[in-house]
A = this chain, B = another copy of it.
Amino acid sequence: MSNSTPATIEDVARIANVSIATVSRAIHMPEKVANSTRLKVNQAIAITGYTTNAMARSLRLGRSNMILVVAPDIGDPNFSNILIGLENEARSHGYGILIGHTQNDAQRGLEYLKFLNSNQAAGLILFTGILPFGHQTMTARLPPSVGVFEPVFNGGIPYVGVDDIAGARKAVDLLIAEGHRKIAFIGDSRTRLAYNRRRMGYDAGLDAAHIGADLRIVFEGDGTIESGRLAVEQLFMRDTLPTAFMCVNDQTAIGVMIGLKARGYDIPGDFSVTGFDDVPQAVFMSPSLTTIRQPRTAIGKHAMSLLIELLSDGQPAETEILLLPDLVVRNSVSAPSRARR
């Protein structure tokens, strides 16, 4: 019993006095075996401590019960909570997850492609634009896949993301409600889908409040803290100062806050600032950052359940799932100071 080698289905069959086929059926199609038999088998399983050898099973079935999650950066604070969502959902459907990170290295990506080709994963969860998918040959063999945050190719692969437009709209609406009319938008790269969508939310919000767009206070950058700080510097060299900064992400917002504080301004007394993402440190900033929270765990959950659906049906129910992000009100926003209003 406390043998060193794990029990096989044969051990169970011998003890239950049935064939191995019956044991397999008792486990996977319980309704197909007689009650009495099922009982015997279950007892034998309890005695032996038998667990199905996943490798043999996968080999026979031609697919594994593992799902590969490939992300560019495991250390990204956005990642871990999504992972939790992914993992919970996967486990509850009998799948395990396997994590790979490419560090944006094409070589790495290729390795994972190989991995997939050797049938080691039944499905793939793909974070924003990672794999060197130029290779048409490779993509042909890709297992069922789901993207996270942004669509992966032109076609085919469904994805789960966040409704950036609606999220950005919440931020800009808050600022407008507080009385701001001159709201700067500090973005990252125009090549990024998130930028364009959040910008659309920003534009729509201004439009709805009949505030004309002012391109002098709209910036591009690269989404880093430094890029936020730089945007502030540039703004102060011009003549049109905003009363609020709406930032494309929290990193940028943090940079903006640093820049403003370095110039001796008070937040939110002199300027209001909003972010997007709600990274962990947002709450530790002083003032704590008002931002739009990515529903990370939910994103993970949805992405995985979409993939699992794909795995069984073959057809995606929908090709795009956009989750609604929440506004998290903290202390970086207030009414504009009379002086500069």
Contact = CB atoms under 8 A, between A and B. Distances in A.
Interface in A22-36: none
A155 interface: no
Given A49-B117, A59-B59, A114-B51, A2 B81 contact: no
Interface stretch (A71-79, A193-201, A311-319): A71-79
Contact of A281 (B56, B64, B115, B281): B281
Contacts of A280: 77, 280-281
A189 interface: no
Contacts of A137: 2, 49
A53 B119 CA distance: 7
Contacts of A104: none
A305 interface: no
A54 interface: yes
A340 to B, nearest CB: 24
Interface string A1-18: 010101000000000000
A286 B315 CA distance: 51
A101 interface: yes
Contacts of A83: 74-75, 99
Contacts of A211: none
Interface in A99-153: 99-101, 111, 114-115, 117-120, 137, 140-141
B119 A55 contact: yes
A188 interface: no
B51 A117 contact: yes
Interface residues on A, range: 35 or more
A84 interface: yes
A57 to B, nearest CB: 9
Interface string A228-257: 000000000000000000000000001000
A117 B2 CA distance: 12
A79 B49 CA distance: 33
Given A55-B64, A59-B53, A284-B284, A84 B74 contact: yes
B54 A118 contact: yes
A48 to B, nearest CB: 11
7 shortest interchain CB distances as A-B pairs: A75-B80, A51-B118, A281-B281, A55-B59, A55-B58, A54-B120, A281-B284
Interface of A: 2, 4, 6, 49, 51-56, 58-59, 64, 66, 74-77, 79-81, 83-84, 87, 91, 96-101, 111, 114-115, 117-120, 137, 140-141, 254, 280-281, 284-286
Given A6-B117, A84-B101, A96-B100, 16 more contacts: A4-B141, A6-B119, A51-B114, A51-B117, A51-B118, A53-B59, A55-B55, A55-B58, A55-B64, A59-B59, A74-B80, A75-B81, A87-B99, A96-B120, A280-B280, A284-B285
26 contacts: A4-B140, A4-B141, A6-B117, A6-B118, A49-B117, A54-B115, A55-B55, A55-B58, A55-B119, A55-B120, A56-B59, A66-B98, A75-B80, A75-B81, A75-B83, A77-B280, A80-B80, A83-B99, A84-B101, A87-B100, A96-B100, A97-B99, A98-B98, A98-B99, A280-B281, A281-B281
